[in-house]
Amino acid sequence: MPPALLTTSLVNTIQIGSLYALMALGITLTFSVMKLPNFAHAEYATAGAYAALIVSLSGALNPLVIMIAAFFVGALSALISHLAVFKPLEGRDVSFYTLILASFAVGLIIRYILFTMADYFNLFDLRIAIPLRVLFRDGYLILSNLFAWVAPTSLVLVFILTLLLNRSPLGREMRALADNINLARVIGIPVERVKNYTWLLVGGLAGVAGALWGLQTAVHPLMGWVAIISVFAAAILGGLSSFSGTILGAYVVAFSENTVILFLNVNYGVDLAYKPAIPFIIIIVVLLFRPQGLTKLIRRAGDLGR
Amino acid sequence: MINIDIGATAISILTLFGIYSLMSISLNLEYGVAGLPNFGKALFISIGAYTAGITYTRLLPLLAGAEAIHPCGPTMGGALQLRSEIMASQPIAGFINFALTLVFAAVIADAVGFAVSYVTLRLKEEWFLALVLLVGGETVRILVRGADDFICSHNGISGVAQPFFFVADPRSRALLFMLLSLALALLAYLCSQRLYHSPFGRMLKGLRENEEVTRGLGKNISLARAQIMAVGSLMAAIGGVLFALNTGFVNTNDFVVNLTLDVWVMVVLGGIGNNRGALLGALLIAIMDRFAQIGAIVLNMGGSEIEFNYVRFIAFGLILLWMLRYRPSGLLPESRLTTDAHDVVRRVIGASK
């Protein structure tokens, strides 16, 4: 493989992998704390991306302002879906498949509300247009200020989230919920409040991930739905319980989707159209042969034990 | 305003009803009766459609005594014309092809369903099956779309005509196809009712309620799962054949997760575990589908800016949430089943008091 192609794909791996990590951590958290595989998760990212796009179109081009708006919209849509849908269902002690189905329905509703809005205001495939500046150029490889935003922001957020989970009181309470919700309730942890905070956090991070995504490509109502399986693949590589495993999983998925497929394409002529199949294959292989994911390899304190 | 042809609308609704019934009854058998969460319904439906795509392009010309033309690429137009001519002029070849399509689709779907059920044996948690099926369905779709020669990748195959294509009058042609799809749906309904009330059906319900107890009673639960997946997949694939013939078109883009969700909406709406509920759900969704299309046309002609097709999905999501929250057992809940043993027990308890 030509070195220029390799470097470009590795840069993509880092960028996309960081975004996957930001979203996949949310899925791992909701699954551990709420016992819910949330298929609507990526729609919070799309909602955040649209919030960012609208803010940027209204003239505010400071990336920080854009990301804060995305955080709020993502967090709000996550909290609303919890309060309106998941919480009443959890209260009724329904089957697991009912929750999966409900999360699909929530995703469908958010996605097509965004579709209707995008159609009405003609907001398809627009980029969040912060000014572009080239920071680094070497042959084919061009690093703009977008790269300086996307990867570091997500890495810092992932770091903060890990710290929050391991060191703060809220993180301790979240881990207690993940471990045993009844025990947590007995010792006086305000379970409902912790759940609300978890949803806000998870949705907000997804919203920021969506905004960062919109910075480098384009905003479309389907962008979250397209990414959800890759994100799930990352979370499943983390065994749906391990933070470090999920982060590693996100980069593994991004690496396979960017570098490995390119390698196969150049050396064995595998069509790039098969790229979307990669996360699917990862999920099936992991679920069948290593359902605990990468957890056993890198088990550390602070993992959400199950 | 536009004129709505009530007769044609009724025919198209009932045709859709037949097709959807096959899908919803199959999911009801798998999930409602046996408790297997088949989130890969689109995969099994697509098996039927892809089979139709293959037989109509490779088998039909041979049956009609002509040379098969490669259906994709530069010869696409010629192959399409050949298909249409055969379907219009040689009804016998069309019928034999249709029957063989059903047989092939049933056999392939049976084998796939049987094989997939063995995956459950390896899974650590039960709900992983839902994920594996969901993801497996999409993987197969991407692989089929990527393969150029199979059903022409992105372009799909058009001219997959229904077997009554030779009938000149479009109204009676549609009516005959409607009867065909209703007849197949009726057959599926009768079979699944028979299955539901058989000892095998009771074992499946036991499997749904408590796997350990069923195993403890000496039942081979993995075999039972494999069998019900095979039966359900067969029905779904036949539904898929009709689905393709109804639109006249086989394209991988039709078999996405949204189709799976549509079938789930039918079962959840109608009543989980009740075959009549599955029929009702299929009917309601067929009606809503058709009226959503009419509504979209009316709205767009009225100059409305809102795209009605999006509203359809929002409505489906809301219906699903509403049902899950307020009527989790559906409009027609599964009736409580009592056997002779119940009566004996009740009499004994009554006598002892």
A181 CA: distance to closest CA in chain B (Å): 20
| Rounded-to-integer distance, Cα B171 and Cα B89, Å | 18
* Confidence (pLDDT) at A140: 67
Neighbours of A36 (CB within 10 A): 21
* Confidence (pLDDT) at B230: 92
pLDDT digits (tens, 9 = 90+) for B62-110: 887 777 777 777 777 877 888 888 888 888 888 898 999 999 999 999 9
Instruction: Determine, for residues B31 and A112 on separate chains, whether the beta-carbon distance falls below 8 Å.
Output: no
Instruction: Determine, for residues B307 and A119 on separate chains, whether the beta-carbon distance falls below 8 Å.
Output: yes
Residue B76 lies in a domain: yes
Contact indicator for B285, B159 with CB cutoff of 8 Å: no
Instruction: Determine, for residues A291 and B123 on separate chains, whether the beta-carbon distance falls below 8 Å.
Output: yes
B155 CA: distance to closest CA in chain A (Å): 14
Contact indicator for B16, B262 with CB cutoff of 8 Å: no
- B314 CB neighbours in chain A (<8 A) are 108-109, 112-113, 116
Q: Degrees (nearest 5) of the Cα angle B186, B190, B192?
A: 115
Q: What are phi and psi of A129, to 5 degrees?
A: -90, 70
Confidence category of residue A301, pLDDT binned at 50, 70, 90:
very low
Mean pLDDT of A67-80: 94
Neighbours of B203 (CB within 10 A): 18
Instruction: Determine, for residues B142 and A85 on separate chains, whether the beta-carbon distance falls below 8 Å.
Output: no
Instruction: Determine, for residues A101 and B324 on separate chains, whether the beta-carbon distance falls below 8 Å.
Output: yes
Contact indicator for B230, B237 with CB cutoff of 8 Å: no
Whether residue A34 has pLDDT greater than 80: yes
Instruction: Please count the structural domains in chain B.
Output: 1
Window 185-214 of A: residues touching B by CB (8 A cutoff) are: none
Residue with tokens 């959800």: A228
Confidence category of residue A81, pLDDT binned at 50, 70, 90:
very high
Note whether B116 contacts A: Cβ–Cβ < 8 A: no
For the four alpha carbons of A91, A97, A101 and A106, in that order, the dihedral sign comes to positive
Contact indicator for B284, B263 with CB cutoff of 8 Å: no
Instruction: Determine, for residues B321 and A288 on separate chains, whether the beta-carbon distance falls below 8 Å.
Output: no
Mean pLDDT of A88-93: 81
Q: Which residues pair with A126 in a beta bridge?
A: A219
Window 134-163 of B: residues touching A by CB (8 A cutoff) are: 135-136, 138-139, 142-143, 145-146, 153
Q: Single out the residue of A285, A258, A253, A280 nearest to residue B139, CA to CA.
A: A280
Instruction: Determine, for residues B139 and A37 on separate chains, whether the beta-carbon distance falls below 8 Å.
Output: no
- Residue B255 per-residue DSSP state: S
Q: Which has the minimum average pLDDT: A88-92, A192-196, A252-256, B53-57?
A: A88-92
Note whether B305 contacts A: Cβ–Cβ < 8 A: yes
Neighbours of A70 (CB within 10 A): 32
Confidence category of residue A303, pLDDT binned at 50, 70, 90:
low
| Rounded-to-integer distance, Cα B151 and Cα B156, Å | 6
- Output B8 or B150, whichever has higher pLDDT: B8
Q: Residue A122's closest chain B neighbor by CA? A: B305
Mean pLDDT of A12-23: 89
For B257, what's the count of Cα atoms within 13 Å in the CB-facing half-sphere?
20
A41 CA: distance to closest CA in chain B (Å): 15
Q: What percent of chain B has pLDDT over 70?
A: 96
Domain extent at residue B171: 6-257
Please report, for residues B26, B34, B52, the alpha-carbon distance to residue B203 in angstroms, rounded to integers and kept in the order given.
17, 8, 34
Mean pLDDT of chain B: 86
Q: Residue A113's closest chain B neighbor by CA? A: B314
Contact indicator for B28, B274 with CB cutoff of 8 Å: yes
* Confidence (pLDDT) at A225: 86
Whether residue B147 has pLDDT greater than 60: yes
pLDDT digits (tens, 9 = 90+) for A96-117: 888 889 999 999 999 999 988 8
Mean pLDDT of B38-45: 92
Residue B352 lies in a domain: no
Please report, for residues A90, A136, A166, A181, B226, the alpha-carbon distance to residue A192 in angstroms, rounded to integers and kept in the order given.
12, 48, 20, 11, 41
CA-based R_g, chain A, Å? 19
Q: Which of A92, A99, A104 to mutate to test the interface with B (most CBs of B within 10 A)?
A: A104
The contacts of residue B226 (CB under 8 Å, 6+ apart) are B113, B114, B117, B118
Residue B80 lies in a domain: yes
Q: How far apart are the first and last CA of chain A?
A: 42
SS3 B347: helix
Residue B299 lies in a domain: no
The enclosing H or E element of B308 equals helix B308-326
Mean pLDDT of A166-186: 88
Instruction: Determine, for residues B321 and A276 on separate chains, whether the beta-carbon distance falls below 8 Å.
Output: no
Mean pLDDT of B47-67: 86
Whether residue B233 has pLDDT greater than 90: yes
Q: Which of A43, A113, A220, A283 to mutate to test the interface with B (most CBs of B within 10 A)?
A: A283
Q: What are phi and psi of B90, to 5 degrees?
A: -125, 80
Residue B192 lies in a domain: yes
| Rounded-to-integer distance, Cα A298 and Cα A198, Å | 24
Mean pLDDT of chain A: 85
Neighbours of A55 (CB within 10 A): 21
Residue B65 lies in a domain: yes
Note whether A276 contacts B: Cβ–Cβ < 8 A: yes
Neighbours of A258 (CB within 10 A): 22
Mean pLDDT of B164-180: 87
In chain B, count H helices and then E strands: 14, 2
Q: Single out the residue of A286, A267, A284, A263 nearest to residue A275, CA to CA.
A: A263
Instruction: Determine, for residues B131 and A37 on separate chains, whether the beta-carbon distance falls below 8 Å.
Output: yes
Mean pLDDT of A173-191: 88
Ramachandran region of residue B337, left (φ > 0), alpha (ψ -120 to 50) or beta? Answer: beta
Whether residue A214 has pLDDT greater than 70: yes
The enclosing H or E element of A143 equals strand A141-144
pLDDT digits (tens, 9 = 90+) for A115-124: 888 888 888 8
Q: What are phi and psi of A27, to 5 degrees?
A: -65, -40
Neighbours of B342 (CB within 10 A): 11
Residue B234 lies in a domain: yes
In this predicted complex, what is the ipTM?
Answer: 0.85
* Confidence (pLDDT) at B17: 95
Q: Which residues pair with A134 in a beta bridge?
A: A144
- Output B99 or B306, whichever has higher pLDDT: B99
SS3 A35: coil
The contacts of residue A225 (CB under 8 Å, 6+ apart) are A42, A43, A46, A107, A111
- Cross-chain CB nearest to B139 (options A104, A115, A277): A277
Provide the H-helix boundaries in B210-307. Answer: 211-216, 221-247, 257-270, 275-301
Contact indicator for A302, A40 with CB cutoff of 8 Å: no
**CA B180, chain centre distance (Å):** 15
Residue B350 lies in a domain: no
* Confidence (pLDDT) at A306: 42
Q: Which has the minimum average pLDDT: A66-75, A197-206, B296-305?
A: B296-305
Residue with tokens 């999911």: B27
* Confidence (pLDDT) at B136: 85
Instruction: Determine, for residues B317 and A109 on separate chains, whether the beta-carbon distance falls below 8 Å.
Output: yes
Strands B249-250 and B157-158: antiparallel
